[in-house]
Amino acid sequence: MSKWNLIIDIENCTNCNMCVLACQDEHVDNSFPGYAEEMPKHGARWIEIMRKERGQAPMIDVAYMPVMCQHCDDAPCIKAAENSAIKKRADGIVIIDPIKAKGQKHIVESCPYNAIWWNEKLQLPQIWIFDAHLLDDGWKQPRAASVCATEAIVAKKVTDAEMTKIIESENLEVLHPEYGTKPRVYYKNLQRYNKCFVGGSVAAINDGTTDCVKGATVKLSQNSTMIAEDTTDAFGDFKFDKLDEKSGIYTIEVSAEGYSSKSIEVDLDTSITIEDIYL
């Protein structure tokens, strides 16, 4: 059967917070029996937008990543809950029973994504419920997706086989696959958040004038194995992305017609913007 999945494109998220506000507008002071009790006005963000800044001036990028209940197929919270207080619906959505889960604060700690919030007033663990109450009423998308102007959030109700094809064609990933929870929330361009880059500019001094070197060949290698190659743009800039943090020493070789080649080494701990490389 068809199941709900969420696709989040980090490249398109601008941190407008409309998804956050839509969630609050829907759930603050509103109770939906069988789905969720009201959300606290303060102190809870069932949808949380994480921020990641990479690099140093002048080459910096900032990414925003919405994180919410991942509606895992192998959800640790279901295992941790007593009295079957959490259920996995046939359509893939996870629901915390607002009656059975009362007082079960330990459920909060069971989520490795920190996506379960404790309602102190109601003594209740709570999550973003995928707006299941609206979908059951005929809505085509949860509100978080319907208000997203950049289409950074899109919900799809498809079979698992169809979703597998979408994952492959759009290069989707899940958060922390090592957790083994089988999330139904997928991310596009996740490297903007969980990978790092090394970049810089190539310049040369000609007749006392500093010029950007356009069209220079820049090669990135590690342990004598070439990993990637780039060509500098009109500003002499190059950039290698999707590298692992704390991945060790890399060699950068720069060559351009009319200039002597140059080689430098960088120890990649996190994203690095190299000072101008002069040929």
Last residue of a domain, one of 193, 211, 246: 193
**Whether 31 contacts 172, CB under 8 Å:** no
Q: CB atoms < 10 A from the CB of 69, how many?
A: 27
Q: Residues 187-208: pLDDT tens digits?
A: 999 999 999 999 999 999 888 8
pLDDT, tens digit (0-9, with 9 covering 90-100), for 234-278:
999 999 999 999 999 999 999 999 899 999 999 999 999 998 999
Q: Specify whether 180 is located in the same domain as 212.
A: no
Among residues 273, 200, 188, which one has the least CA distance to residue 235?
200
pLDDT tens digits for range 68-123: 999 999 999 999 999 999 999 999 999 999 999 999 999 999 999 999 999 999 99
* The pLDDT value given to residue 277: 92
Average pLDDT of the residues of the chain: 95
**Residue where a domain stops, chosen among 176, 193, 210:** 193
Shared domain check, 118 and 248: no
- Domain that residue 266 falls in: 196-278
Residue with tokens 């139904």: 184
The DSSP annotation for 38-101 comes to: PBPSSS--SSEEEEEEEEETTEEEEEEEEE-----TT-HHHHH-STT-EEE-TTS-EEE-TTTT
Q: Long-range contacts made by residues 23-30, C-beta under 8 angstroms, separation at least 24?
A: 23/47, 23/128, 23/143, 23/144, 25/143, 26/131, 26/134, 26/143
Same structural domain, 145 and 259: no
Does residue 12 sit in the same domain as residue 146?
yes
Residue 106, SS3 per DSSP: helix
Instruction: Name the region of 92 (left: φ>0; alpha: ψ -120 to 50; beta: rest).
Output: left
What three-state secondary structure class fits 148?
A: coil
3-state helix, strand, coil in the chain (%, to 5): 20, 40, 45
9-29 pLDDT, tens digit each: 999 999 999 999 999 999 999
Res 275: pLDDT: 86
> What pLDDT score does 128 carry?
98
Containing H/E element for 154?
strand 153-158
pLDDT reading at 181 higher than 90: yes
CA distances from 255 to 49, 86, 259 (A): 41, 60, 7
**Which candidate, 181, 218, 212, places its Cα nearest to that of 73?**
181
| pTM metric for this prediction | 0.89
Count of domains for the chain: 2
What is residue 175's DSSP assignment? Answer: S
217 and 122 in a common domain? no
The residue among 159, 193, 227 that closes a domain is: 193
* Cα dihedral 142→147→148→149 (10° resolution): 150
Do 31 and 61 fall into the same domain?
yes
**Tokens read off for 113:** 């994504």
What 3-state class would DSSP assign to 124? strand
Contact 13, 150 (CB under 8 A): yes
User: Per residue in 40-75, pLDDT tens?
Assistant: 999 999 999 999 999 998 999 999 999 999 999 999
Rg (CA), the chain: 24
| Residue 208 pLDDT | 83
Query: Tell me, what CATH number does 160's domain have?
Result: 3.30.70.20
177 and 206, same domain (yes or no)? no
